[in-house]
Amino acid sequence: MQPTDRRLANAIRALAMDAVEAANSGHPGMPMGMADAATALFTRHLKFDAADPHWPDRDRFILSAGHGSMLIYSLLYLTGYDRPTLDDIRHFRQLGSPAAGHPENFELPGIEVTTGPLGQGVAMAVGMAIAERHLNAVYGDDLVDHRTFVIAGDGCLMEGVNHEAVGLAGHLQLGRLIVLWDDNSITIDGPTALSRNEDVIGRFEAGRWHTSECDGLNADDVDRAIKEGLADPRPSLIRCRTIIGFGAPHKQGTAATHGAALGHDEVEAARKELGLEDKDFFVPDDVLTAWRAVGKRGGVEHALWKDRLEQSERRDEFLARLNGKVSDSWLKPYVHKLMLDLKPVATRKASEMALEAINAAIPATIGGSADLTGSNNTKTKDLEPLTPENYGGRYIYYGIREFGMAAAMNGMALHGGVIPYGGTFLVFTDYARPAIRLSALQRARVIYVMTHDSIGLGEDGPTHQPIEHLQSLRAMPQLDVYRPADAVETAECWALALQAEKPSILALTRQNLAPLRTAEVQENLCALGAYRLKSSENSRKVIILATGSEVEIAVAAAAQLEGQEIGTDVVSMPCTERFDAQPLEYREEILPDVSNREILRVSIEAGTTFGWERYTGLHGLRIGIDRFGVSAPASDAYDYFGLTPDKIVVRITDFMKTRGIQ
Ligand SMILES: Cc1ncc(C[n+]2csc(CCOP(=O)(O)OP(=O)(O)O)c2C)c(N)n1
Ligand SMILES: [Mg+2]
C-alpha cells in the first residue's frame, strides 16, 4: 500500500528534527511546517530525475528560506540523490559535511543556488525563470520547457529585494515561476504582527501576479493551488497557511521552533504526536521506497527528452551552449581593427565597442542595465529587448533595481546556457552588493559593467563618486575587479571576464582616456593582472603603479620625471586579484623586493589609498583620495585632489627628498 502523503512528509520532519538535535544547531521549524507542501510539490509536480541532477530541462527548485536547509537535504536524500547520504545528514552543519548550515550550490548537485540571505532566493529564481523563457525561445519546447518553484518564508517576503524581484517577474510575465509562501506568521522575534501588517497578497497582485491560498498542511490542497498557479499565465504566489514546527506538541506555532534544537523530550513527544518510531534518523522501508520512486518518476520524461535531443539538428550547439565555454577568438581581430584608428575614448564606450564584437560572436550573452543604458553603454545595436512578446531578445531593461538585477543575473548564470552582464554606476555596487557577494560565493559567471568609476564622473558630485568601492570590492574573495586603462585593456578584460568561472566587475570611466596600448601583442597582458607599460629610461628610481584613468596620468608624470633624470617604470594594474595569482618571480620582476628602499613605489588611483601599501610597501607613496569627492567638472576635480602629472611629480620628488632617495 502506498504510504499517505502525511507519512511521506513526516519522514522530512523526522530527519529535520534529528539532524538539528544532533548538531544542536539549525532550524527545525520551517521544514516541519512546510513538509506537506514540499511533499505535494516533489511527488506531484517537480520535474526532476535524482539520477541526473544536471539534466538541463529539469524544473528548478529554490529554497529561498535557506535556514530551512534540512527540508532540501531530506528531500535530496529521500528521493535518492547520491548525496547527501544519511551519514552526511547525521553530520549536518559539521566540518566536511555537504549538508552545510545553509544550502550551498557548490556542495551538492540538486542545490540550484545558495540561499540563506533572505529574499535573494526569490530574486535568483526570477533570473532562472528568465533564462528558461529565453532558451525556450531560442531552442523550442522540445529542448527547453521547465518551471521554477520557490519556497519563501515571511522573511523573504519582507526583504526589499523581493519587491524588485516581484516587479521584474510581473513585468516580464514569468508565468512559469511559482512561489510557495510559508505563511506561518512567525519569525525569529515572534509573531509577524510585531513587524508587519501589510497585505502581502495585495502587493503581489499589484505587481501583476496571480495569487492563491491553500492549507499548507494538506498536500491535496497544496496540489490544487499549484495546479491553479501553473494554469495561470502570470507568475504565481501561493500562500500556504502553515504552523511552524508542526508536530512538536508543546512548541509548534512558536518562534521557539525557528532556530534551535527542540530538545530530547520534545522530539520524543513529537514522534508520538506524528506516529513516528522512537528512533533517530529512522525512515520506514515503505516510506523510503515510495520516496525513491518519486526520485525516479522523472526518468521517463528525461529519457524522452534525451531522444529529442539526439534527434535535434541543434544537439551539439545546445550542449556547447549549456557547457558554457566561450572562445576569445573575437579579441585579436577586434584589437587589430582598434589599432588602425586609435583615438581617445571613455572605457565605458570602449566596452560598448568590444561588446559589439562579443555579442556578435557569443550568442549566450544577455545584456542589461538598471536604467542607465545610455550611460553604461551596455546595449549594442543588434540586441533586441527581452520582453514577454519576445523572450528571445538579449537585452533586459531591469529598471531601477540594482539588487534585483544582480540577483536575477546570478539566477541566470546558475541556470546555465546564458552569460548575463548588467550595468549601473560603480557607486551603486553598494545597492547590489549582497548579490555580488552571492555571485562570488557561488562562482556565478556574472559580469558587472560598472561605469562612472571615480571623481572623473564630475558634476554629479560626492553621492555618485566612488571612493572606497574599488578597494572594498577587491577585498571580496572569488571576485575579479578590472579597471582597464584604455580601449585595448578594456577588450582584454572583457575576454577574461567572459572566460572566468566566477564573477567580474569592470570599472569603467565616463571620461575619455588616451590610447596607451598602441602596439599589437600576442598575449592578453591584462591576464597578468599588472604589467610594465613603460620601462625606465634613466636608472630606475621610481615605479608608479596605476589603474584605469590614472595610468595616463602616471605615464605623463613619468615622462616629466625622466626629464629630471629620475628613471621611472609605469605599471598598469588592471586586476590586482590576477596579479596576486602570478608566480613570485613575475611579481618580483614587476615589483622588485619591497625592502629595496632605493626604488620608490608609488600608487595612483582616484579612490581610497587604503590597502595600496600592499604594493607600495609601508615606505612607499600612495596617491589617492581619502575623503568624499566634490561636485565639479572632472578636470577641476582631478586638479583639486592633486591628480595631475605636475602635482604628482612634485609630490614624488618631495617625497624622494624627505626619504633621502637620490
Ligand atoms: C538578509 C537576512 N537577514 C537576516 C537573516 C537572519 N534570519 C534567518 S531566518 C530569519 C527569520 C525569518 O523568518 P521566516 O522567513 O518567517 O522564517 P521562519 O521563522 O518562519 O522559519 C532571520 C531574521 C538572514 N538569514 N538573512
Ligand atoms: Mg515565518
Q: Which atom of ligand 1 is nearest to the CA of 434?
A: 1
Q: Which atom of ligand 1 is nearest to the CA of 159?
A: 1
* Contact in structure between 603 and 620 (CB atoms under 8 Å): yes
Average pLDDT over residues 31-60: 98
How buried is residue 496: exposed, middle or buried, by Cβ count under 10 Å (0-12/13-18/19+)? buried
* Contact in structure between 239 and 181 (CB atoms under 8 Å): yes
Q: Which ligand is nearest to the CA of 153?
A: 1
Nearest residue (by CA) to ligand 1, atom 8, is 67
* Contact in structure between 156 and 67 (CB atoms under 8 Å): no
pLDDT for 594 equals 66
- Quick check: 476 pLDDT over 80? yes
Question: Can you tell me whether residue 399 is helix, strand or coil?
Answer: coil
Determine the Cα angle at 619 with ends 617 and 625, to 5°: 80
129 Cα to the center of ligand 1, angstroms = 24
Question: Can you tell me whether residue 384 is helix, strand or coil?
Answer: coil
User: What is the per-residue pLDDT across 17-38, written as a single tens digit (0 to 9) for each?
Assistant: 999 999 999 999 999 999 999 9
62 Cα to the center of ligand 2, angstroms = 17
- Quick check: 449 pLDDT over 70? yes
User: What is the per-residue pLDDT across 516-532, written as a single tens digit (0 to 9) for each?
Assistant: 999 999 999 999 999 99
The Cβ of residue 557 has, within 10 Å, a number of other Cβ atoms equal to 29
- Quick check: 69 pLDDT over 70? yes
Query: In sequence order, which ranges of 379-486 are alpha helices (DSSP H)?
Result: 402-415, 429-442, 469-474
* Contact in structure between 569 and 532 (CB atoms under 8 Å): yes
- Quick check: 110 pLDDT over 80? yes
Q: How would residue 66 be classed by pLDDT, with cut points 50, 70 and 90? A: very high
Q: Per 3-state DSSP, what percentage of the chain is helix, strand, and coil (rounded to 5)?
A: 45, 15, 40
Average pLDDT over residues 626-649: 98
What does the mean pLDDT of the chain come to? 97
26 Cα to the center of ligand 1, angstroms = 12
User: What is the per-residue pLDDT across 480-504, written as a single tens digit (0 to 9) for each?
Assistant: 999 999 999 999 999 999 999 999 9
249 Cα to the center of ligand 2, angstroms = 18
- What contacts 66, CB < 8 A, 6 or more positions away? 102, 103, 114, 115, 116, 117, 118, 121
Question: Can you tell me whether residue 177 is helix, strand or coil?
Answer: strand
32 Cα to the center of ligand 1, angstroms = 16
Q: Which ligand is nearest to the CA of 258?
A: 1
Average pLDDT over residues 42-48: 98
480 Cα to the center of ligand 1, angstroms = 30
Q: Is the pTM of this model over 0.95?
A: yes
Smallest Cα–Cα separation from 367: which of 385, 353, 349?
A: 385
User: What is the per-residue pLDDT across 266-286, written as a single tens digit (0 to 9) for each?
Assistant: 999 999 999 999 999 999 999
Cell of residue 106, nine digits: 557548490
Instruction: Describe the crossing of helices 219-231 and 29-44 by its angle, rounded to 10 degrees.
Output: 60
- Quick check: 40 pLDDT over 90? yes
DSSP states of 217-278: T-HHHHHHHHHHHHHSSS-EEEEEE--TTTT-TTTTTSGGGTSS---HHHHHHHHHHHT--S
Report the b/e string of 130-160 with b at 16+ CB within 10 A.
bbbbbbbebbeebbbbbbbbbbbbbbbbbbe
pLDDT for 661 equals 79
* Contact in structure between 642 and 585 (CB atoms under 8 Å): no
Distance CA 662, CA 659 (A): 9
User: What is the per-residue pLDDT across 374-409, written as a single tens digit (0 to 9) for each?
Assistant: 999 999 999 999 999 999 999 999 999 999 999 999
Q: Which atom of ligand 1 is nearest to the CA of 258?
A: 19
Distance CA 632, CA 640 (A): 9
Average pLDDT over residues 590-617: 92
Distance CA 246, CA 33 (A): 5
As a whole number of Å, the end-to-end CA separation of the chain is 92
Q: How much is the CA Rg of the chain, to the nearest whole Å?
A: 28
Nearest residue (by CA) to ligand 1, atom 13, is 187
Q: Which atom of ligand 1 is nearest to the CA of 157?
A: 15
- Quick check: 155 pLDDT over 70? yes
Determine how β-strand 236-241 pairs with β-strand 177-183.
parallel
Q: Which ligand is nearest to the CA of 183?
A: 2
Determine the Cα angle at 479 with ends 521 and 161, to 5°: 135
Q: Which atom of ligand 1 is nearest to the CA of 184?
A: 20
Q: Which ligand is nearest to the CA of 157?
A: 1
Q: Which atom of ligand 1 is nearest to the CA of 182?
A: 20
pLDDT for 582 equals 98
* Contact in structure between 658 and 652 (CB atoms under 8 Å): no
Q: Which ligand is nearest to the CA of 152?
A: 1
- Quick check: 59 pLDDT over 70? yes
Q: How many angstroms from the chain centroid is the CA of residue 513?
A: 30
Q: Which atom of ligand 1 is nearest to the CA of 155?
A: 15
191 Cα to the center of ligand 2, angstroms = 8
Ligand 1 test: best mutation among 25, 67, 194, 438, most atoms within 8 Å of CB? 67
Q: Which residues line ligand 1 (CB under 6 A)?
A: 29-30, 65, 67, 116-118, 153-156, 159, 182, 184, 186-188, 244, 258
User: What is the per-residue pLDDT across 74-97, written as a single tens digit (0 to 9) for each?
Assistant: 999 999 999 999 999 999 999 999
How buried is residue 653: exposed, middle or buried, by Cβ count under 10 Å (0-12/13-18/19+)? middle
SS3 letters across 407-431: HHHHHHHHHCCCEEEEEEEHHHHHH
- What contacts 616, CB < 8 A, 6 or more positions away? 545, 601, 602, 603, 622
237 Cα to the center of ligand 2, angstroms = 16
652: left (phi over 0), alpha (psi -120 to 50) or beta: alpha
Ligand 1 test: best mutation among 102, 118, 240, most atoms within 8 Å of CB? 118
Q: Which residues have a catalytic role annotated?
A: 402
29 Cα to the center of ligand 2, angstroms = 9
Distance CA 499, CA 659 (A): 44
Q: Which atom of ligand 1 is nearest to the CA of 116?
A: 25
Q: Which ligand is nearest to the CA of 158?
A: 1
- How far apart, in Å, are the Cα atoms of 658 and each of 520, 553, 605, 615, 662? 41, 23, 22, 20, 10
Q: How would residue 651 be classed by pLDDT, with cut points 50, 70 and 90? A: very high
Average pLDDT over residues 409-437: 98
pLDDT for 360 equals 98
66 Cα to the center of ligand 1, angstroms = 9
pLDDT for 549 equals 98
Nearest residue (by CA) to ligand 1, atom 23, is 188
